[in-house]
Structure 1
Amino acid sequence: MLKIKSAKISSNKPLYWSQFYELSFGNFKFFVYLGLTSFKGKEAENKAKIFFKFIEEQLRGDEVVRPKLLRLKEILELSTKQTKITSDDDLALVLLDDRVVSIVLKGKLKTFLLRDGKLVTVAASVGEVTSISGPIKSDDSFMVTTSNVVSKWGKGIIKASLEEESPESSIERLLAVLSSGQEKTSCLVFTVSREQYYQEKTKPHELAINFGVFKTLFRMFRGLVVFVLDFFIRLLPERKIVVEAGVTDIAIEKKRKSAFLIAIILIFLLVISVFYGSRQRTLKIEKLKYETIVSDINHRLEEALSLYGLNPDRSRELVLSVKESLPNLEKLQIPESEYGEVISRFDSVSGQVLGEYDTEPELFLDLTLSSDGFEGEMGSLSHDTLHVLDKGGGKLLRIDINTKSTQITGGPDEVSGSIDLAGYLERVYVLKKDAIYKVDETGSKKVAEEDFGGNALIKAYAGNVYILDKSGSEILRYLGLGDNLGSGQTWLTESEGQDFSDIVSWAIDGSIWLLDRNGAVYRYASGRRLSVDSTLVSKYIKNSFKITTSEENRNLYFLDSGSNKIVVFDKEGGFVAQYSTGELGNVKDIFVSESSRKILLLTGPNLYTLELKHLQ
């Protein structure tokens, strides 16, 4: 035979008065709930007595046969009319027997079921009467609660509470986090089991925790005091007391002093123990608070992962809500190890759902070890070879990003006055105002001559050199990579209406990608501008600074100098991920190798690296 255990939170707040009523006959168990907003104090108590008495009369009239769900709805609606309960009040009827639970709700109430470790909302009312009926199983746990408990604390709190060993423990966990304000806060928890029945206990909202611990503690120490006193008295030797001519025996005085000293010691121990017990109680409440929040966070993160493929928007919403909860968790007395585990799990899930990674960059290479005072300002990555230019110091450095081997390939004579550079495998080309130069260990050689001014950019791709002339708003292509590039050819087939004066960075992967200072992105292919939404990226970055990609990389990478972040998009304009550059400050250039799973950040004298976690 199934047994029912229950515990409750009721309220006598000025803005909300509530009470539960139980009724048993035969194999039936009834719970009746009334929550009043329109009555207070004695008026509410009198209204409740009338309401519960009317309900009992109606139920007992049906005790010969099991009341049906429809009959419960009739009873609830009839009692509302007869006792003049308003539409703002909350009502609930719960009927249980060995096989079935029937629930009727009115007002703003919700019913949850924890079965086999899964939490389900089985009924929810918003003003209108809502009813549900279904079979019950051993070890089912139910909770009927006011809706504000769910909206304020989330389902994670409900699940964590119902996972406790008993309804009383569930209520105690809830009381550790529920507000003591004027909100509607009431709750019924009942479990179905085959354990031996015990008398359920009602826990009022304000007194549930306050005195139980101290009563138990006081009884324990009272017994301890009696035991210790009895023990010491037995140790004292029996002596006959003789009084002569009004002279008191000295032994009596000594015994009195000993008894007084023992009493002082015991009182001191009692005070210490009470203080210790109070401290332990405070710690227990704090632990319940952070454990409940941690359980809620884990529940929301699990739900976010499960919904990611089905409902990405809801999944992102859950992760963002967890992000808002973390500062509150940090304020509680949670051990650093447990807090670290929560943060680690959040970082993992937020990376998958939000695409946000806050990993601190690691030092990849100190460039000053290759050349004293080296201050890299820009670079060009071609496959695994990175060329870095120090414009102020007049130095060019070549780096193998796999082995970290470095070599100075140019000095002031070769690179002084350079505007930009383009690497292609082991070759490197530097752009100056009047010409393009090829630079290697043997020196520099002019390979194309033209007046570019100081407002142009250079790239090398597929055996050709490309120049973006921002002043002339055109793109020139130089065929071949030999010692004589000849004259540049106009690459654009439709140059009218193009304005490249605001372009700050560009990249080539077969298409040509242009980024302007406002974060707008333009894509060109075969000399023509493609129709794409140029504002997609500007929604995510504040100050656009660099764009990079290649034919080996399947994504576009943007450096936002305003927020020190790297934002990743696929080549169709879809958001993929976001990386923080931490406390690096002014990042001057970025280079990405998806095959090596690295982002390289140039800060001047150093190169830092970030792992491409979104590729996992």
Structure 2
Amino acid sequence: MAVNLDPVTLTGRPDETGWSQVHIFKPQDESKLSSKGELYVVLSVGDSEKGIENTILGRELLGKIYKDYFEGSDSPYISLKNAISGVLEDFTENIRDIEIVAMVQVENVAYLATVRGAGVVLIRDKNIIPILKTGAMDMELASGFLKDQDIIVLGTSKFFSRFDLAKVLSTLSPRGLAEAVELFARDTHSESGNGKLGLLALKCNQAKDLENQTANLNQKVGESSENVVMNSLGLETNKASADKTEQDFGHNKNWIDNLKNKITPLFKKVPERKFYVGANQESLKDKNKRKTFASAGFIILFLLVLSIFFGIRQKKLNDYKSRYQAELAGAVHQLDEAEEIYSLNPVRSRELFAESKAIVAKLLSENIKDPQLTQLADRLNESQGKILGEYKLDTELYVDLTLLSNGFKSDDIILSDGKLFILDKNARKVVSIALDTKRSEVVAGPSAINKVDDIGVYAGRIFISNSDGIFELKDRLVKVVDKDWTGDVMIYPYAGNMYLLEEDTSMIWRFAGSSEGFGSRKNWLASEVVIDLNNSRSFIIDGSIWILGKDASILKFSLGNKQDFKSEGVYPEIKNPKTLFTDDQSEHLYILDPENSRVVVIDKEGKYKAQYISAETKSTTSIVVSEKEKKLILLAQEKLYSIELKHLE
């Protein structure tokens, strides 16, 4: 029977000593909740090594713990251990002083981890028992069953140094949990220097007493390969000490000795081999001659059979090699030529590379074993990025948007003046994130935005469109353009003017900017231009206007006239693109192709440059790029991922 945990939290006010935070993660996916449970984390961050703000580092820490724990496929015990270890490896260089205490609850089992001074205390039957307390650089783990009315206290070292265990027991025992923590809060907030104080107290309710089921603990939580021992509380603690190792070794040695004592008599029972002397009257000399001749004959016969065997084997090997040697030599020649002409004719170079790669893939599928083939396959992998422009890279979690605003679901992303602006249409929220520092803030919420269909940002001014018109977001919404269109539209502010693509009429309208707002609309397209703009996916301006169609066509307009533009060299062809990005700071166009798990890069003349292949692009809905920072940002629901741009090097 699963237990219910009632949490009460306490954190000190951030100050020069540091910052603390308590987070509770409960996955929405029922299967993940069943297998991984709920994650509770208390952390404190002291001064950072590189001057990075504690709050930013704290969010990154929480985001990494959440990702490594819930996205791992291991058991809760191993996943928790790996998640905390990963944080220590990735963030120790940037943070001088970090403490973490984490707990996972799966049904009636608790898994615990502490790092660098943080601790865990259990209050059971009015007794207070320290469970975990780590040293300066250690991590300790524990796991065990929870009982009804247990109180688990997860705290930073600042909490336990400020409130000794006797006071914790005397305060928590006679009072309700919330009331007791409120008393701690009064003392905490009335004093300075408590920025790193963090507390999470959890009370267990309606839980079945499972103390008698400790015999089954290894089935539930014994998934770790490390030695664990059960203490009197039904909690497992990692105690793989030198003494324990010595004890286990001695036990194994006795077992081996016993086995040896049992086996040795069996060998003694094997009959002794006897030698007999016959009555043969032949001389020993004649017998030795016959033995010599027989041995020589046997050796000659053996060598003859061996030479026949090797001859047959060599013939088979020659036949085997002759079958593929011509293909292999051709593949080597094609790669050599591709590398030689890359700078002169990159299109032909990619064709030769692709042909060589296809031959190698065919030979490998036939289980051909040849050092030259292995060497050629390695050369292809090394040259693939340079010649084909294919970069298969792991993405990095850039920002977890749920840490900025609960339940945030992104619909669109804009890059303007070094800032990211992310729109959640359903929640009617806009958040901004500085690209270089990741400093974030909620720009506007439902109190300011009543409805929103599209967003545009230029020179720090934020605009939204809805069924009533176009509005500028200031302290409140200010209408700047009255609605005078039908159907779906896309807006794009640029150089002080507002541009609007109206799909139903295939028109592009320009609203000239003025000190009082925007003037009346004018048709931006030249009078002789007749174009179908239905089913447009993206509407971008960098001086020219770029429009991406659902059929992967890219239209370019300049001064109201359509320009000749065609992409070439992209393989495989793009069939169903999601969005297009460029700006006046970029030399390339970036096309999101989720169907092929990639982002394709072409220059503004249409020539293929590169493609970035990553699993996260399948769920990506929009992208932005900063060529200055060499960073590609993927927007995937509640998370932002980043990829380092290699084709600019």
Largest Rg, 1 or 2: 1
Using structure 1 for the length normalisation, give the TM-score: 0.49
